[in-house]
Structure 1
Amino acid sequence: MLFMKGTPQEPRCGFSKKIVEILNEHNIHFCSFDILSDEDVRQGLKVYSNWPTYPQLYVNGELVGGLDIVKELAETGELEKTCHKEMRLEERLKALINKSKVVLFMKGNKALAKCGFSRTIVGILNETGVEYETFDILEDEEVRQGLKKFSNWPTYPQLYVNGELIGGLDIVKELEKSGELLSTLKGENAS
């Protein structure tokens, strides 16, 4: 986790920009938090970490350090050992698609869908009683954009069963209307 000024896409200081560049150059997968968005976190983390400046990089809940330490780790080859290398996007997508028998990529989650299409498909899936996992595409822009290309399906939500794309809300509605939704979700071949 990188606590920084701004976001990886739009850093708001040179130190944050440089640490993002280093992490990206070394294919380190990381999440970030914009400390400019929450003054309590900004001040509290300085006390918690006993580190007065930003950015701050954490691995497994432990402070690694700021830009100077990350630079040094990169120069000595220790950065990859300290941080987790990012799986190639295609590998990540395949792993996410197959994390459960039925996986729904949506805006939000089962408890709090963040768009009407996602809300509708969750309602339909809940009525079937079939267990399914969700992935909030609003939390990971790389997955959000990458899955569109990977699946050749330009919109969300996207429903996968046994690692195969079933489709979006319109397809799920058609399957429901034709009585084939439950067998599709169970991975049974409809005749």
Structure 2
Amino acid sequence: MSRGRRGRRPRPRRVARRRAPLLLVALAGAIGAAGAAGCDDLSRFSTAEGEAYCGAITLGGAFRAGLSPRVQMRLSLDAGALDGPEPPGALSTYEAPDGTTPERRLLDGAPLRPISALAHDPLSRLEFGDGRERNAVYAVSASDPAAESMLVILSLRTDESVEVRLIRAGQAPPASGEALGPGQRQIFGVFRLTRRSGTCGF
């Protein structure tokens, strides 16, 4: 009798039991991969036609250099091109006149220019502070061709707003005491932008 039992074929139920753990592992892997892809999907930050991210500079004087509290910013963005060789968007700024100075447009549709060598450096995946899903660094050119270029740190935030830091190192003041030209002065400003319809009023 024992010999006959050993000669029997395995029951299908036992085969199913053996395969079940493998199926569970495969399913868990597929779910994990889908979740990771969803976390990396930043396409919701892209602006559609007729949309822009709009906002004003942080008013605190300690957070500004070379920019007045009247500066506003507009950003168009293709989030799918953040890591590509082409500009993923463009920046414009507008500073309203105050009676003594005319309006000023430091940036006028300036493309966010990728810095190709930066893609091979950890700085390309800059992380700082909570609430930021992705940070990226670009260069922008001022509307004045004689002015020095600037750096932009673009931060896509978890509340679906966008934060922009505009930076220019500038030149050291001359020993003669003469004032630097507008395009040579140090610049720092932080802008918090939210998506709106239209062109931000300028």
TM-score of the aligned structures, taking structure 2 as reference length: 0.17
Q: Which has the higher contact order (CA 8 A, sep 6+)?
A: 2
Q: Which has the higher helix share?
A: 1
Based on CA coordinates, which of the two structures has the bigger radius of gyration?
2
Bigger share in strand: 2
